Amino acid sequence: MIGAVVLSEAISYLAFHDPNAVGLIAIFLFIALIIYFAFRTGLRGGFIAVAITIFYYLYIIDSRDYTGAQFITSIQTTAVLGVLYVLLAWIIGWLKQTIDLLIEQEANEKRKLQAIVQQLPVGVIVADNNGTIIHGNQQLEKILGRKIREGLVAGRDIIAKGTHNGKEVGPSGWPLAHTLTTGKPVIDKEFKIQNDKGKDVVLQISASPIKSRSGKVIAAAAIINDITQQKELETRKDDFVNMASHELKTPITSMKLYIDSLSISLGKYNDERATKIMHNLKGQTDKLQKLVNDLLDVSRLQTGKLGFEKEDFRLDTLISEIIEVLQDSTKKHTIVYAKKAAVKVYADKFRIYQVITNLVTNAIKYSPQESSITINLVRKQGKAVVSVTDSGIGIAKDQQKRIFERLYQVADMKEKTYPGFGMGLFISKEIIRRHKGTIWVESEKGKGSTFYFSLPLNT
């Protein structure tokens, strides 16, 4: 400011020798300086600049020995300019302070958010669109057993080697990289890695893209959960179920044999009550055997130990055989075999038998009123498609995907009206999937359901 005063004096005397020129130069120079100081240091800086300017004007008036009208005009000009300068300094200073406050508030928010992310009980990585880490929290360091610095690249410097469903994961297979390239979120994928301390850990990773207003992916955030302990517990639980069902299998088979021979022996006495008891006993043992077999299948599926013995067979004939058996189990329902295309498939006959039986018994179970169940077998786009239609209780839209999950049942345990364990459709889905087919449902609550599955044809 002082420099500006000296400069103003020098220019006006050396270059112009004209008091009006001094005034004009001073006005422009000082407006610029007031703006500059008010913007740099806020209200205080602006007002100091104004004060210096006004003192300088007064100094000019005094040093140039103005008198009379010239003196009065100079004082009036200084007063008007002074008011303008104060206004200018005030507006710009206030603007500057408001902007500062906003920036400070945003910085505080950011600090708060960072502190929260730091303390989260799950690992968090935020990376820019090259995969370079912008932020990694404490829990992530704990999971990976190493320090996370900004600038490391996710998938190269950290979490670079691992497996998903037993297969090696390539650089683009990690959720963060996938999200960055496709712009789509990844939800709860499981990976096995060895952390920097040499410990095997199971991670559940989800990632989401962060997009600009124009929709361009500019960064991505991933949440990483260490589920190693949970997995160990699940494995122990599965092992237990597997062992228990194995142990139960033999006594149940013996029980069935004893019941059969007892039924034959009792048959000689023509005792109606005893025959009925034996019939019920057989029914209950069959149910127990089915439950144990389902438990074994689920645990074999979990451990990847369910093998298939494939052969060529006529699917239409298999369906006829199943209908014959199942029609005997119900008087309320009529099973109609409407369309029967003659198709051959190459599959595990017993397992396909199991799937169809499960779909038809479900159709019977979930159709409490007297009704018919229709089965169709058609060829469609090089595949055999089987459908089982009932007019029973139906399934709400939001449940339709979930019924194929392990142990999922629509009604909760408290209001359970239909017996079952929620294993049948899970087993069916896995059997069909492993035969390169698909299984799906179309249903409307209260109106009935159609379950479909497809298998590759073997013509």
Footprint of ligand ADP (CB under 6 A): 358, 362-363, 366, 390, 392-395, 403, 408-410, 420-426, 449
Q: Minimum distance from CB of 230 to ligand ADP (Å)? A: 24
Running DSSP on this structure, what letter comes out for residue 251?
Answer: H
The minimum distance between CB 219 and ligand ADP, in angstroms, equals 41
Beta carbons within 10 angstroms of residue 310's beta carbon: 14
For strand 333-340 and strand 371-380, is the pairing parallel, antiparallel, or unpaired?
parallel
Which of these, 156, 128, 159, lies nearest to 146 by C-alpha position?
Answer: 159
CB of 365 to ligand ADP, least distance (A): 6
- From CA 306, how far away is CA 297, in angstroms rounded? 7
Residue closest to ligand ADP when measured from CB atoms: 420
Q: Which residues pair with 449 in a beta bridge?
A: 390, 443
Task: Provide, rounded to whole angstroms, the least separation between the CB of residue 409 and ligand ADP.
Answer: 3
The nearest distance, CB 291 to ligand ADP, in angstroms, is 9
CB of 275 to ligand ADP, least distance (A): 29
- The token pair that represents 249 in the structure block: 């299998």
Q: Which is nearer to ligand ADP, 12 or 449 (CB)?
A: 449
| Nearest distance, CB of residue 405 and ligand ADP, angstroms | 9
Query: Alpha-carbon distance 451 to 441, whole Å?
Result: 4
Are the C-beta atoms of residues 123 and 143 closer than 8 Å to each other?
yes
Locate 200 and state its tokens.
């095997």
Smallest distance from ligand ADP to CB 321, Å? 21
Smallest gap from Cβ 419 to ligand ADP, in A, equals 7
* DSSP run (H or E) holding 388: strand 383-390
Q: Given the complex with ligand ADP, which of 246 and 287 has the nearer CB atom? A: 287
Pick the closer one to ligand ADP by CB: 272 or 398: 398
Give the number of residues written for the chain. 459
Residue 371 Cβ vs ligand ADP, minimum distance, rounded to whole Å: 11
Q: Which is nearer to ligand ADP, 195 or 358 (CB)?
A: 358
Q: Two tokens at 434?
A: 């492993």
Q: Which is nearer to ligand ADP, 324 or 444 (CB)?
A: 444
Would you say 85 or 426 has its CB closer to ligand ADP? 426
Distance CA 401, CA 180 (A): 28
143 or 395, CB closer to ligand ADP? 395
For residue 364, give the nearest of 344, 398, 338, 389 by alpha carbon. Answer: 389
Q: Confirm if 164 and 191 have CB atoms less than 8 A apart.
A: yes
Instruction: CB nearer to ligand ADP: give 225 or 449.
Output: 449
Do 143 and 195 form a contact (C-beta atoms < 8 A)?
yes
Q: Which CB atom, from 94 or from 440, has the smaller least distance to ligand ADP?
A: 440
Contact 313, 345 (CB under 8 A): yes
Reduced to 3 states, what is the DSSP secondary structure of residue 323? helix
Nearest to 191 by CA among 163, 219, 210, 171: 163
Give the residue with the Cβ less far from ligand ADP, 180 or 432. Answer: 432
Q: How far apart are the C-alpha atoms of 85 and 296, rounded to whole Å?
A: 89
